[in-house]
Each structure stands twice: as C-alpha cells, then as structure tokens.
C-alpha cells in the first residue's frame, strides 16, 4: 500500500465539487463517507489533523445513553440504542461490546428500583426482553476490586466501546475508497458567495505550505463541531451553540483494575462518573464545564476538573489509595451542544441539529454514536435542494470489516478482528506481509506492532509525529509520558516512511513532547494541590 500524496490545493480548486465538508471530526467524516458512497464528488478539509478536535477526546462509548431516559429524551435514547446496535454489528474489532455495572448501595431501594425499570425500558428499546442481570458482592469484587463495601450489589447491562480517533479515520478511509478526497491541515478561512448571496464555495488555506485558494462547491457543509459558530459568523449569523468542556483522567489499568465499565454517582455533585477499561488503561470521566461560546484550541483539563474526578474515584474506590501520581494522562474535549438555555450544563440536551443558512448547511451537536444518523439527515437536506435527484439512495450495505484470506497462524482471532476493524481488511493483509508484523513496540502494549506503526505512517496522512502517536496509535494516552521511552524504536520506521532527516525528526520530537505536556500531562497545580 502506497502513501496517499497530498493533492496540491490549486489542483483541487480546478475541480467543481458537489459537496465540500468542513471539519474532519466524526461528524464531517460520516457526511463525507455518506456523500462519497452516493457517487457525489466530495472533498473534506480539516484545519488540524483528522479527529484532533472532540473526536479523539470523548468517553469512547458507543452507547444508548441510559441517562437520556431520566430526562425523558426518548427519541434520542431510541435512536442511540439503534445506532449502537448497528455499529456493534457492522464494525467488529472497532466497536466492541462492553458490560457496565451500576453499583447499588445497601438499602438504596430507590436507585435500585429506578435503575431496574430504566434498564428494562432500555432493553426493550434495543429489541430485547427486559432482563436485567443482578451482580452480587462477591462477583463485584472481581469486576471492580477496591469498590466501596457499602455497594452490596449491582445491575449489569451492555453497551459498546470504540477508539474514537480510529473510528473517525476508518470512516474517512471508507469515504476515500469511494473516491472522496480528504485533506488534513487545510483550514477554511472564508466562505465564497454567489451573486444571490448564497454560499457557493470556500477559501482554503494549506496550513503546511501557506497556499490559499478559492474553491467552488454546490453544497458546503459546516461540520466544525464546537467551532461551527465561528464559520457561521462569516455570514453574520449569531451564535447558536453552547460549549461545554469535559475532561477525563487516564490510569494504568493495574492501579484501577476494573474489568467492566462502572457507572456510579459522584459523591459531591451526584452526577454520573464513568470508570471504563480501555486498551489496557482505565478512563475516568467526565465533567461538564460551561464555557459559554468560547472554544480555544486545544481544550485542556483544568486543575479543578482533575481534583473533582480524582475525589470522585477515591470515594468510590477507597481501597485503592489512588493519588495524583497514579494519573498517567488527562484529556479534555468540547461538546458541541445546541444552546437551549438550560441552566445546568450537565443537563443540556445531547441532541443534534442541521440547518440551512444562505446555502450553508451547518450541523452541530450529537455524539460519536449517532454520526450515521446525522450524516443521513445532511444528505436528505442536500437531496432536498436538488429536485432532479431521485431521492437519496440507501446507504451502502454494511462494509464487512472482517479480514479474510490471510493465513498468519500466529495471530489470535481477537487480534485479527482488531486489525481488521481498525485498519480494514485490505490493510490487514499488507500489515501481516511486513517483516516486523509480529514485533510489538512494548510488551505492556500488546496491541501496537512495529508493522502497524509503519503502515500507519505510510498510508494514513501523517504530517506530524503527533498525528501518528496521539491519534493513530494513541500512545499519548496509553503509555507513561506519552511513550517518550519508545521514541528510539519508532524513529527508524518513521524516518524511513516519511523521509525525515535527523533535524526534522528532532523538531517533531520536540513538538510532540511539548504538545503532550500541554494537552495530556496532569496540570501542575493539580499535582501540587493534592500533595
Ligand atoms: P470535532 O471532533 O470537534 O470536529 C470538528 C473539526 O472541525 C475539528 O477537528 C476542527 O479542527 C475542525 N475545524 C474547525 N474549524 C475549521 C475550519 N475553519 N476549517 C477546517 N476545519 C475546521 N459521544 C459518544 O457517542 N460517546 C461518548 O462516550 C462521548 N463522550 C464524550 C465525552 C466528552 C468529554 C465530550 C466532550 C464529548 C463526548 N461525546 C461522546 C460526544 C462526541 O465526542 C462529539 O459529539 C463528537 O466527537 C463531535 O464530533 P464533531 O465532528 O462534530 O466535532
């Protein structure tokens, strides 16, 4: 498989595009794939790296959103449950089932009854009989060692889990395989309007070369998530979004060794706290920090959020003696939420909206889980503006992501499934054919082989080291200090694949480590505050 070369901007500007999608998070990726699969000439542009916004900083759940039920958001819950089940079915290896437990304190009949009824309804929405599993204390000790002993029992239910950045990259890859063009480090710096004032294209800035061009497109879709009001302001439109930041802590799994997801209420705020095993680490989230209309780049976890999450998990797991020095990394993202003037940011609806203003289609809100529904709604809007269309063709049948045909006997079934899910069947064959296919970067990280690093550097539009380590391999979250100790093993592969000399490698390492310290390390005040 060859490296995908960046087509120069002026060549793209010579073409007339059916659809220009602005924003390479999961929302833009979903629209890109859907439009390309319908045969529309589609271009996606992303100002930074693909998935570098909220779509690599989520809770990584493909979930129905049990708590939507408590807010009577039935349509959203039903849609999320349906989408979760479709993704679990269609994307094995990329979206996997994960059991959750809801611990119930001794004598807390109220929560026990509410959750039993809620989970029953939840099962019915997913087309299953309302059977909720009860977990006794003895089993709880295996699932969540160190959990406070006032939790005597728990209820168990099933959701899905993914790697958010890899999901976005896979969806973009699917759009590319349908002849869509996706370009990272390409910022929209202005909208182009026709003589009727309708948006008919955009000005693009190549962040790597400094080139600027104007490009024409019949439909322009603003899928810039938390930044969508910024693009709309080019039309003189007032903001419609409310930005709510959310943070997570990352612990090495051995310090918080849960085997299922755990959802419990934070002792101070009463809001849900998620403790989730993910790729060999444990994630703890989340927070709801109201930022008004401001979404600075990048989103950072604050000292207060770190302390809040750490306090919450300590109260739940007093037996583990967790401290700030146990936190391996932190991360934060902005929720693009439609402003419904709710006072409490935690209760603001996670629904999505699509609207048309002067020819610009803006989509905002939503979740990873519902990206396909959002994309279909945008396509319906596009088809509504084209009376000559025969309506929207149904989305292509599920893309089979199972690898088939290769015969590497050393690969376990689950590993084969993971590779196929994350990179696609074609990629699996190429990865397995590489000489370093069986060599792992780090024994504690059984998932990352040197061949995957090579394949990713070669074919996945890596422009900076950060793109590779933070979003394609996830080392920024999975290894202490962002995997600093492993850079020596990664260097020869990356330099060979990307043609970087020693000076460029050094610059990239400095850039990556400085970025990691800013975006993923524990904020220094949180460390000193706790000591
Ligand atoms: P983004 O991913 O932010 O993408 C927008 C992109 O637009 C960015 O990459 C940005 O660089 C780009 N951009 C901005 N301006 C320009 C421009 N001028 N030109 C070109 N590009 C531009 N959902 C779930 O389903 N499950 C979860 O467990 C979950 N947990 C979450 C936890 C937290 C803390 C948060 C914050 C969100 C969570 N979500 C979850 C929601 C989900 O992550 C988001 O809804 C989703 O990632 C938003 O994707 P997006 O593409 O709309 O935005």
| 339 or 171, greater pLDDT | 171
The pLDDT tens digits of the residues spanning 470-495 come to 999 999 999 999 999 999 999 999 99
What does the angle CA 264 – CA 350 – CA 520 come to, to the nearest 5 degrees? 65
Residue 188 Cα to ligand 1 midpoint, Å, equals 17
pLDDT at position 400 is 39
Whether 130 has a pLDDT exceeding 80, the answer reads no
pLDDT at position 401 is 39
Cα separation, 491 vs 509, in Å, equals 10
pLDDT interval class at 397 (50, 70, 90): very low
pTM reported for the whole predicted model = 0.94
User: What region, left, alpha or beta, does residue 5 occupy, with left being phi > 0 and alpha being psi -120 to 50 degrees?
Assistant: beta
| 192 or 269, greater pLDDT | 192
pLDDT interval class at 434 (50, 70, 90): confident
CA distances from 151 to 51, 107, 154, 316, 472 (A): 38, 9, 8, 9, 38
Whether 368 has a pLDDT exceeding 60, the answer reads yes
| 130 or 146, greater pLDDT | 146
Q: Which of 48, 368, 467 to mutate to test the pocket of ligand 1 (most atoms within 8 A of CB)?
A: 368
273 CB burial (10 A radius; 0-12, 13-18, 19+): buried
Minimum-distance ligand 1 atom for the alpha carbon of 333:
36
- What count of other Cβ atoms lies within 10 Å of the Cβ of residue 16? 11
> Atom 38 in ligand 1: which residue has the minimum CA distance?
58
Q: Tokens 């084969």 label which residue?
A: 416
pLDDT interval class at 447 (50, 70, 90): confident
Whether 289 and 344 have beta carbons less than 8 Å apart is answered as no
pLDDT at position 344 is 62
Residue 53 Cα to ligand 1 midpoint, Å, equals 5
pLDDT interval class at 222 (50, 70, 90): very high
Report, as an integer, the average pLDDT of 521-528.
77
β-strand partners of 322: none
- What count of other Cβ atoms lies within 10 Å of the Cβ of residue 107? 9
**CA-wise closest residue to 424 among 402, 407, 409, 446:** 402
Pocket (CB within 6 angstroms of ligand 1): 22-28, 45-48, 52-55, 58-61, 63, 187-188, 223-227, 231, 246, 285-286, 333-336, 366-369
> Atom 32 in ligand 1: which residue has the minimum CA distance?
58
β-strand partners of 155: 102, 134
How does strand 151-162 pair with strand 61-62?
A: antiparallel
Minimum-distance ligand 1 atom for the alpha carbon of 231:
18
What contacts 480, CB < 8 A, 6 or more positions away? Answer: 252, 328
The pLDDT tens digits of the residues spanning 283-315 come to 999 999 988 766 788 899 999 999 999 999 999
Which range (70-74, 171-175, 202-206) has the least confidence?
A: 70-74
Residue 28 Cα to ligand 1 midpoint, Å, equals 9
The pLDDT tens digits of the residues spanning 174-218 come to 999 999 999 999 999 999 999 999 999 999 999 999 999 999 999
pLDDT at position 435 is 83
Minimum-distance ligand 1 atom for the alpha carbon of 244:
36
Residue 237 Cα to ligand 1 midpoint, Å, equals 21
Report, as an integer, the average pLDDT of 452-468.
96
Q: Where are the beta strands (DSSP E) in 253-312?
A: 261-265, 272-278, 281-285, 289-290
pLDDT interval class at 241 (50, 70, 90): confident
Whether 396 has a pLDDT exceeding 90, the answer reads no
Alpha helix stretches (DSSP H) within 38-107: 66-70, 74-90
Whether 115 has a pLDDT exceeding 90, the answer reads no
Minimum-distance ligand 1 atom for the alpha carbon of 247:
34
Residue 117 Cα to ligand 1 midpoint, Å, equals 32
β-strand partners of 217: 17
What contacts 272, CB < 8 A, 6 or more positions away? Answer: 67, 263, 264, 265, 266
């Amino acid at each position: 498989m060859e490296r995908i070369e960046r087509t120069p901007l002026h060549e793209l500007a010579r073409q007339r595009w059916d659809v220009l999608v602005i924003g390479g998070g999961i929302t833009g990726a979903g629209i890109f794939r859907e439009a390309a699969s319908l045969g529309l000439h589609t271009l996606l542009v992303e100002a930074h790296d693909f998935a570098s916004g909220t779509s690599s900083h989520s809770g990584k759940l493909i979930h129905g959103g049990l708590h939507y039920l408590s807010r009577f958001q039935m349509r959203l819950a039903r849609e999320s449950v349906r989408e979760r089940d479709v993704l679990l079915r269609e994307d094995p290896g990329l979206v996997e089932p994960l059991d959750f437990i809801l611990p119930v304190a001794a004598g807390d009949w109220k929560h026990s009854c509410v959750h039993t009824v809620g989970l029953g309804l939840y099962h019915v929405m997913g087309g299953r009989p309302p059977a909720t599993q009860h977990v006794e204390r003895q089993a709880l000790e295996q699932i969540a060692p160190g959990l406070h002993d006032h939790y005597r029992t728990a209820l168990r239910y099933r959701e899905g889990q993914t790697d958010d950045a890899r999901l976005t990259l896979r969806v973009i890859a699917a759009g590319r395989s349908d002849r869509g063009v996706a370009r990272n480090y390409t910022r929209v710096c202005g909208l182009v309007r026709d003589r009727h004032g309708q948006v008919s294209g955009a000005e693009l800035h190549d962040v790597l070369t400094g080139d600027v061009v104007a490009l024409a497109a019949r439909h322009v879709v603003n899928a810039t998530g938390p930044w969508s009001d910024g693009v709309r302001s080019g039309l003189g439109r007032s903001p419609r979004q409310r930005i709510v930041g959310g943070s997570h802590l990352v612990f090495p799994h051995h310090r918080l060794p849960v085997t299922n997801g755990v959802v419990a209420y934070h002792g101070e705020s009463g809001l849900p706290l998620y403790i989730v095993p993910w790729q060999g680490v444990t994630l703890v989230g989340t927070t709801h920090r109201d930022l008004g209309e401001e979404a600075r780049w990048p989103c950072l976890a604050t000292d207060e959020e770190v302390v809040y999450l750490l306090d919450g998990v300590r109260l739940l797991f007093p037996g583990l003696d967790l401290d700030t020095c146990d936190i391996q990394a932190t991360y934060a993202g902005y929720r693009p939420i439609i402003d419904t003037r709710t006072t409490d940011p935690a209760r603001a609806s996670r629904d999505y909206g699509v609207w048309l203003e002067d020819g610009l289609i803006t989509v905002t809100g939503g979740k990873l889980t519902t990206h396909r529904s959002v994309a279909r709604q945008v396509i319906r809007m596009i088809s509504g503006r084209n009376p000559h269309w025969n309506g929207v063709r149904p989305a292509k049948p599920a893309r089979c992501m199972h690898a088939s045909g290769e015969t590497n006997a050393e690969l376990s079934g689950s590993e084969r499934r993971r590779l196929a899910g994350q990179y696609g069947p074609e990629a699996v064959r190429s990865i397995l054919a590489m000489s370093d296919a069986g060599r792992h970067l780090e024994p504690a990280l059984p998932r990352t082989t040197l061949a995957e690093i090579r394949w990713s550097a070669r074919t996945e539009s890596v422009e900076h080291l950060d793109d590779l380590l933070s979003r394609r391999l996830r080392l920024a979250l999975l290894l202490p200090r962002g995997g600093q100790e492993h850079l020596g093993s990664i260097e020869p592969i990356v330099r060979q694949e990307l043609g970087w000399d020693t000076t460029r490698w050094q610059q990239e390492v400095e850039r990556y480590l400085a970025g990691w310290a800013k975006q993923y390390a524990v904020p220094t005040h949180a460390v000193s505050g706790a000591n």
